[in-house]
Amino acid sequence: MRNFLVGIMIILSPVFVRAADGLYTAKLVRLTNDVLFRRTGSSDWGKAGPLMDLFTRDTVYTMAASRAEIRFRTGELLALAPNTLIVLRPPGKKEADAEMVAGELLGRRTRIITRNAVILPKTADAEFSARLKEDLTTVVRVTRGVAEVEAQGKKVEVRKGYYTEVKPDMAPSPPVELPARPKTGPQAAVAVPDGAPPAADAEPPPVTEYDFLPPDALDSVETHTGYRLQVAKDRDFGVIVLDGTYGISERPDLEKLLQPGDYYMRAAKIDLLGYKGKFSAPKRIRI
């Protein structure tokens, strides 16, 4: 009798019913600071926790200075920037993993609906960012592969390195190449071949912030918020004289921050979720 009652309780469990109906959708694999969630059919918000299960029609909201990473059971990935609100696999929305109501996200192989556009990955490696501006314009930037953007019955294919905008009640704009990245950095900082003595009269090309980022940062710079920069007097970074975090397009004026001399510099990119990657190999510079 006891086993029978336990079986009935399991069958009546809402979570079990969802899983049995195939409504289990995704898992919240990483989060920082305050991330809220709301179950479908509920008006109450709760505080999300790491590795929690998410279901069809659940809502996730990242508050200010908060980020979240969601992995669907089929492998697609979503990274949510601060102040982003999404609904997972909304019913009746064909070809969608999530609907973005506000904010900005990074999608890998993910199908997204915004207030006025549908974004579909066209290649297996498709990676893009989508941002909903205050005027409800959707901006889609593709950083890997190819994505298709549809609105008002019109479709455009956006390839790596291009972006499109979808204004309210309008078709997507023709894809435009993303702005060129800065080619020069602080003129006072110049690269010196590792292990070579500094030459007093040599004028190597100026170093940029991208020169010392990990190589793959150039392929996904639009998906990263910044980088952490360290400068030391020694190659082993035992005596660090500068340790700062900067936006991806910021270029610190090393001439003002450091005394004249020879240094070693390294950096690590910071992704959309605020997680820091590995430091690059040390590069010798002269101020």
Whole-angstrom CA distances from 68 to 27, 71, 104, 134 are 11, 10, 11, 21
Q: Do domains 2-177 and 190-286 have the same CATH topology?
A: no
Q: In the numeric block, which tokens belong to residue 54?
A: 């998410």
Q: Where are the domains of the chain?
A: 2-177, 190-286
Question: Which CATH number is 2-177 given?
Answer: 2.60.120.1440
SS3 state of residue 213: coil
- pLDDT at 121 (0 to 100): 93
Question: Is the model's pLDDT at 200 over the cut of 70?
Answer: no
- pLDDT at 91 (0 to 100): 58
Q: Which residues fall within 8 angstroms of residue 271, CB to CB, at 6 or more apart? A: 79, 223, 224, 225, 277
Task: Tell me the percentage of the chain whose pLDDT exceeds 90.
Answer: 35
What gap in Å lies between CA 66 and CA 198, rounded to an integer? Answer: 44
Q: 10 Å Cβ neighbour count for 225?
A: 17
Q: Give the range with max mean pLDDT: 223-227, 256-260, 274-278.
A: 256-260
Question: Which CATH number is 190-286 given?
Answer: 2.60.40
What gap in Å lies between CA 150 and CA 157, rounded to an integer? Answer: 9
